[in-house]
Amino acid sequence: MKKYIFTLLIIAFISSSCNKANISSEDKRLDQRVDSVMKLMTLDEKIGQMVLYTSDWDVTGPTLKSGYLDDIRKGNCGNIFNAHTAAYTRKLQKIAVEESRLGIPLLFGYDVIHGHKTIFPISLGESASWDLAAIEKSARVSAIEAAASGINWTFAPMCDVSVEPRWGRVSEGAGEDPYLGSRIAEARVKGFQGENNDLSDPLTILACVKHFAAYGAPLAGRDYNTVDMSERVFLDTYLPPYKAAIDAGAMSVMSSFNELDGIPATGSKYLLTDILRKKLGFKGFVVTDYTSINEMVNHGIVANESEAGALALNAGVDMDMQGEVYFKYLKKSIEDGLVDEKLVDDAVRRILRVKFMLGLFDDPYKYCNEEREKQLVYAPEHLEAELDVAKKSMVLLKNDNHSLPLKKGEKIAVIGELAASTRDLLGSWKAAGDWDFMKSTLDEIKLYNGEKNVIYAEGCKKMGEDRSGFAAAIAAARRADKIVMVIGEDWEWSGEAASRTSINVPGVQTELLEKLKALNKPVVVVLMNGRPLDLSKESTLADAILEAWYPGTMGGKAITQVLFGDYNPSGKLTMTFPRTLGQVPIFYYEKNTGRPIYLENPKYKSRYIDCPNDPLYPFGFGLSYTTFAYSDIKLSSNELTSDGEIEASVNVTNTGGVNGEEVVQCYVRDLVGSVTRPVKELKGFEKISLKAGQSKVITFKISPEMLAFYRADMTYGSEPGDFKLFIGGNSRDVKETEFKLK
Ligand code: NOJ
């Protein structure tokens, strides 16, 4: 304690009001306070601040290797991840604060990706809500629960744009679109770091923008694989969501595993200094991904770990996650003149700065309040928020003959292993979420519809070839009015290290679906999965398909409420669902090519001879239990001046029999550019609610800045000329008009 008080005295002029992010007037004082600590530090202690180790886990709870505890004590480890609960983090913090020489508090990081205890839908699912307020709320609740459990740093939001459904990590992102991805990245940062970006608030946590950069484009969809793209594609398409998150105030960034243009991201000065710091103006600190410094030896960019450490530091990496490279080699590299000690000072300054912003020097135990933890984790309003987001995330892909909603009291056969699963509802990265107390979709359907009206048969497993349960499932289905089959992927088939070479529904689930279809009863498919799947067969077999993703702690209830029409589905896909894997990569913002397919003479066109070009379900697509009609697309003017703004409007009418929500989407096409431009680009959207029969005029503002891109000479800006503007309920079915940028 003595040492901690000593440190506090050194920084006695701290005022707690100085902890807000982005307040430039306070920057100087913050720097002075950081300097006052820096002056006391040895080189070893500085390097210790640049080290992040994971805790280990056993069945009864988290424990650290004794060596790591000693590292904290000696000042050789300033940051820990994968340790949580107020009590446990307090124990570790106490070692840092009371037993290390300077008493510098620890950062506690954790993958709070879509919830801490209350688990929200996987991020891809959540993005399908297109509901920024709901997404922000989900991150807010996650931060509140994590902060109450000792965490002050989350490794989120994941801002990787991806058009690669084979890649399991698409489940962690916001889909294929840079504009929507940017808005969602901002919402998530706001949720984690709080409305006012006040990191000193004990109920906010530090966000970490990852994986910098372009990790979402691995060749062949294989995780950790090589990424290669033009600088223009990188800047135009992949960079915007990271930028948006940084502009929103995120104060840490994680470097990615992949290489880009032949240089591993963790050793890329171009990415971590030129783009991140100079171009984007990032002021926080950069942490590596797990051992990604060490992995640069495998990449073949350095001969050994010592060189890897030097490359990383010179590129702009401040903190080494788990690799022990900085710990082992940095001091020697300085002595050998391979790196400048000033870079160590800069890195430590950035890390300490964030620790000050979090208020850890004022009260290192501020996240370690067990009473608060008890009150806040699984708070009823958190579970309510999760139920709300889960319902909003679901996408109705098909609904022939009004098969949905189900009617209360109908006899329903529920089939499929996933229907009875609770663990799968949480998806990957379930943080500290528990599934033992949760209710499965089957439990919830029984609760809602009455046990006697529900007949369950597993039928088959999510994976494997076992058909022995088919007969029982068919028998159950024969006794029912309608069949609900829950199919999809095991939760472990999405997320990190979960790439697939097929995007089919695994095992024999579709085979059983075919048999159920033969009974000539309405068949409803509920999908649980973390990526776009090839649903070409299922979409012909099922009368209705509800994409439920992995919907989280309240997922069973959310699915039930949507199935029975207590909530009218409003989600829209944020990744294109192809007809077949052979179309991948497929995304709505493609280029026209010199031989677009819509021209005469289909032979020598950019097309497949065995499959249409268009996807099964396009970006932005999703049905409702009602229908919406679009009419009267109008512009306030057909000419947009270089400093002006025009308004585009459309009339949307709920033409069905029930109230519903619709995501109205606005796209633009730049017809002629100094470089070729996409056939459509999302420029705005609004989620609206319309009563049955009600109409609303929806307006989008269009400015020249919204039309900017990296031009032929790599300058950024818009170009005068003709544009098309489209408004509709998805990227395919739109009304269009034209304007000119002067
Ligand atoms: C590796 C993953 O790529 C990254 O997303 C995660 O945050 C870290 N491990 C820490 O768990």
pLDDT in tens, 179-206: 999 999 999 999 999 999 999 999 999 9
Domain count, the chain: 3
**What distance in angstroms lies between residue 290's CA and the mean position of ligand 1's atoms?**
6
Whether residue 41 is found in the same domain as residue 115:
yes
CA–CA separation, 711 vs 493, rounded Å? 40
Domain span at residue 568 reads 388-583
Neighbours of 56 (CB within 10 A): 12
pLDDT in tens, 38-76: 999 999 999 999 999 999 765 556 666 778 899 999 999
- Look up the CATH number of the domain holding residue 496: 3.40.50.1700
**What distance in angstroms lies between residue 289's CA and the mean position of ligand 1's atoms?**
6
3-state SS, residue 17: helix
Decide if 99 is inside a domain.
Answer: yes
In this prediction, residue 1 carries a pLDDT of 43
pLDDT in tens, 448-493: 999 999 999 999 999 999 999 999 999 999 999 999 999 999 999 9
**Contact in structure between 378 and 119 (CB atoms under 8 Å):** no
Decide if 260 is inside a domain.
Answer: yes
Among 312, 347, 373, the domain-final residue is 373
In this prediction, residue 57 carries a pLDDT of 67
Decide if 623 is inside a domain.
Answer: no
In this prediction, residue 598 carries a pLDDT of 76
Whether residue 482 is found in the same domain as residue 361:
no
User: Dihedral angle at the C-alpha atoms of 80, 85, 88, 94, nearest 10 degrees?
Assistant: 70
**What distance in angstroms lies between residue 264's CA and the mean position of ligand 1's atoms?**
16
pLDDT in tens, 533-576: 999 999 999 999 999 999 999 999 999 999 999 999 999 999 99
Whether residue 221 is found in the same domain as residue 332:
yes
In this prediction, residue 462 carries a pLDDT of 97
Catalytic residues, by residue number, are 289
> Of all protein residues, whose CA lies closest to atom 11 belonging to ligand 1?
111
For 533, how many CA atoms within 13 A lie in the half-sphere containing its CB? 25
- Which are the contacts of 445, defined by CB distance < 8 A and separation ≥ 6? 412, 414, 419, 454, 484, 556, 560, 563
pLDDT in tens, 583-607: 999 999 999 999 998 777 788 999 9
CA–CA separation, 708 vs 711, rounded Å? 8
Among 327, 342, 373, the domain-final residue is 373
Task: Kindly list the distances between the CA atom of residue 610 and the CA atoms of 67, 582, 606, 613, in Å, as whole numbers in the listed order.
Answer: 60, 10, 13, 10
Decide if 339 is inside a domain.
Answer: yes
- Look up the CATH number of the domain holding residue 9: 3.20.20.300
Whether residue 577 is found in the same domain as residue 646:
no
**Contact in structure between 473 and 512 (CB atoms under 8 Å):** yes
CA–CA separation, 248 vs 197, rounded Å? 8
Say if residue 515's pLDDT is above 70. yes
Whether residue 294 is found in the same domain as residue 365:
yes
Decide if 608 is inside a domain.
Answer: no
Whether residue 366 is found in the same domain as residue 417:
no
- How far is CA 430 from its chain centroid? 13
pLDDT in tens, 407-453: 999 999 999 999 999 999 999 999 999 999 999 999 999 999 999 99
Q: What is the mean pLDDT of residues 610-614?
A: 95
Whether residue 494 is found in the same domain as residue 553:
yes
> Of all protein residues, whose CA lies closest to atom 3 belonging to ligand 1?
289
Among 546, 568, 583, the domain-final residue is 583
Decide if 379 is inside a domain.
Answer: no
Ligand 1, pocket-test mutation among 108, 162, 210, 430, most atoms within 8 A of CB: 210
* Encoded tokens for 177: 């679109």
Q: What is the mean pLDDT of residues 704-708?
A: 98
> Of all protein residues, whose CA lies closest to atom 4 belonging to ligand 1?
289
Peptide bond into 380 cis (omega under 30): no
Whether residue 138 is found in the same domain as residue 211:
yes
Task: Kindly list the distances between the CA atom of residue 255 and the CA atoms of 55, 214, 290, 315, in Å, as whole numbers in the listed order.
Answer: 21, 10, 9, 11
Q: Let me know if 595 is exposed, middle or buried by CB neighbors in 10 A (0-12, 13-18, 19+).
A: exposed
Decide if 286 is inside a domain.
Answer: yes
CA–CA separation, 597 vs 612, rounded Å? 10
In this prediction, residue 66 carries a pLDDT of 74
Whether residue 418 is found in the same domain as residue 369:
no
Whether residue 452 is found in the same domain as residue 355:
no
> Of all protein residues, whose CA lies closest to atom 7 belonging to ligand 1?
155
Q: For ligand 1, what atom is nearest to the CA of residue 155?
A: 7
CA–CA separation, 575 vs 564, rounded Å? 26
Whether residue 330 is found in the same domain as residue 393:
no
Tell me how far apart the terminal alpha carbons of the chain are, to the nearest angstrom. Answer: 67
In this prediction, residue 602 carries a pLDDT of 83
Ligand 1, pocket-test mutation among 158, 290, 320, most atoms within 8 A of CB: 290
Say if residue 356's pLDDT is above 70. yes
What is the CB < 6 Å shell around ligand 1? Answer: 111, 155, 210, 289-290, 496
- Look up the CATH number of the domain holding residue 673: 2.60.40.10
| Helix H or strand E segment including 287 | strand 285-287
Decide if 460 is inside a domain.
Answer: yes
Would the pTM count as exceeding 0.85? yes
Instruction: Calculate ∠ Cα 631-678-214, nearest 5°.
Output: 125
> Of all protein residues, whose CA lies closest to atom 1 belonging to ligand 1?
290
| Sheet of strand 320-321: strand arrangement | 153-154, 107-110, 79-81, 51-54, 320-321
Whether residue 441 is found in the same domain as residue 511:
yes
